[in-house]
Amino acid sequence: MIFKLALRNIIGNGWRSLINIGIIAAVLISLIWMEAMWYSWLVLAKTQQKQWEFASGMLRSKNYDPYDTFSWEKSYAPIPAEVLPHVESGDIVPILYAPSVIYPGGRQLSAMVKGIPAGQKVLELPSSGLAPSEDGPIPALIGKNMARTTKLGIGDVFTLRVKDSAGAFNAVDLQITDVMDSPVPSLDIGTVWVDLSALREARLLTDVATVLVLKEKSLQSVSAPQYELITEKEFFADLNEMVMTKAVGQSVLFLLMIFLAMLAIFDTQALAIFKRRKEIGMLSALGMTKGQITRMFTLEGALYMVFAAIASLVLGFPLFWYFATKGFALPGGVDFGVVGFDRPLKFVYPLPLILLTLVLMFILTAFVSWLPVRKIAALKTVDALKGGTNA
C-alpha cells in the first residue's frame, strides 16, 4: 500500500516529478561519462606503456637515477651471465641509455640516445629497421614529436656526439629510417633510437645495459645483483599520482552536481509536505502510523532516483554508445604530453564503479527525502487535519 501511494503521488505531481527525474538523470549521465573517461584513459595508458615500454617487468641498473642527469653517463651495468641466455633467446630485451648531443641541420640539441636490439619482439617499438649496415650512416628511429622538434624526416642524415667509456667524445652519423607514431611520450620526446650494438660500439662498451625489459613475469626472479626490479606499482607511480590529482578536482565537480540534484529532491519533498498537511492528517486518522507515513514520503523520494536511473540509461545510451565506438578526442589535437590522449579515447564503462555511484545516489536521495519528513512524527492528527503545523 505504501508503495502504491508513493507511486500515485509521484504521478500526481506531474511536471514537478518529470523535472526532478530529468535533473537526476542529467547528473547521472554526466557522472557516468566522466567516470568512464578517466577509467578508460587510465586503462589505456597502462596498456600502451606495457606494450611499448614496460612489458611484464623491468630490471634497471642501480647506477641509473632518472632524476639525476649527472648519473646518466655511467647509467649502465654488465649483463649477468645468468641473464645472457634469455637475452639471446629474445625473452629479455636490453636497452642502453646515453646522454648525447645531436646536430640536425646545423643546430645543436640535447637528446637521449637509446640502443635496443633491432630484432626484438617483446615491445611494439618498431626496431626492425635499426639493423646496421656495413657502410654508411647508422640507422636511427625517432618519434613524431621528435621529428617535429628537430625538423628531421625519413632519409635525413645528422651527426650525434656521445661520450665513450673512456671519457672521450665520439661522433657518428645517423640516418632516419623511420618516424614512429608512439603513444608513449617518454619513447619519443628528446629521444633517438639506434641499434644496441651500434651504440655499444660508439661508447666502447660490451654486454652492458641500462634496463632489461622482461617478456614474462616469471623472469622477475632472475639473478641480477647490479640491477633492481621495477615493479608495476613503482613504474606506474607517476601515472597513478597524476590520476589521483585529477580525481581531487573531479570529486569537487561530482559533489557539486550531486548537491544540486539532492537540493531539487529536498525542495520537492519539503513543498509536498507543506501542501499535503491535510492529507497526512487524514492518513493518520485512517490508522496509518507516523512511521508508515515517514516511509511513504521517503520511498517517494527514492523512487525519483529509480526512475532517473532508468531514464539515464535510456536517454544516455546514444551518448555512451558514441564514445564507446567513436571515442573522445581532445580539441585541436592537444594531447597534454601524456599517454592515451594522442588519439580518440574509446570509452570502457566500469560496471562496479557505475553501480557504486547508483547505490550512493540512491542512499543520498532516500536521506534527503527523509529529512523534511522527520517532523511528521511530532505532528498531531487534529492539527494536520486543520492544516496547522503545531506539534
Task: Please write the tens of the pLDDT for every residue from 307-357.
Answer: 888 999 899 999 999 998 888 876 554 554 555 566 678 888 888 888 888
Do residues 136 and 63 both lie within one domain?
yes
Q: How many independent structural domains does the chain possess?
A: 2
Residues 69 and 212 placed together within one structural domain of the fold: yes
Measured CA distances, 97 to 315, 334, 350 (Å): 52, 29, 38
For residues 214 and 59, the answer to whether their CB atoms sit within 8 Å is yes
Same domain for 301 and 256, yes or no, is yes
In the prediction, which pLDDT does 115 show?
Answer: 95
65 and 211 belong to one structural domain: yes
Evaluate whether residue 143 is within a structural domain: yes
Residues 217 and 150 in one domain: yes
Q: Which residue has the cell 532517473?
A: 308
Rounded Cα distance between 143 and 99, Å, is 17
Same domain, 334 and 283: yes
Q: How far apart are CA 355 and CA 87, in angstroms?
A: 46
Q: Are residues 148 and 97 in the same domain?
A: yes
Tell me what pLDDT residue 52 has: 93
Q: What is the pLDDT of residues 144-169, one digit of tens each?
A: 999 999 999 999 999 999 999 888 99
Regarding whether 160 and 43 lie in a shared domain, the answer is no
User: Tell me, what amino acid is at 32?
Assistant: I
Of all residues in the chain, the percent with pLDDT exceeding 70 is 84
In a domain, 381, yes or no: yes
391 lies in some domain: no
69-112 confidence digits (pLDDT tens): 888 888 999 999 999 999 999 999 999 999 999 999 888 999 99
Residues 221, 175: one domain? yes
Last residue of a domain, one of 230, 251, 275: 230
Residues 97 and 196 in one domain: yes
Query: 263 with 372: CB under 8 angstroms?
Result: no
Q: Which of 199, 230, 261 is the last residue of a domain?
A: 230
Phi/psi at 111 (nearest 5 deg)? -155, 160
Query: Is there a contact between 299 and 265 (Cβ–Cβ < 8 Å)?
Result: no
Residue pLDDT, tens place only, 202-212: 999 999 999 99
The pLDDT, as a whole number, for residue 293 is: 72
Is the per-residue pLDDT at 269 higher than 70? Answer: no
Q: Tell me: pLDDT of 272 over 70.
A: no
Question: What is the rounded average pLDDT of the residues 211-226?
Answer: 92
Q: Which domain holds residue 176?
A: 58-230
Q: Are residues 96 and 220 in the same domain?
A: yes
Q: Please, what is the angle between helix 277-285 and helix 290-325, to 10°?
A: 120
Torsion sign over Cα 247, 249, 250, 252:
positive
Which of 202, 230, 258 marks a domain boundary? 230
Is 312 contained in some domain? yes
Q: Which three cell numbers stand for residue 28?
A: 547521472
Same domain, 91 and 113: yes
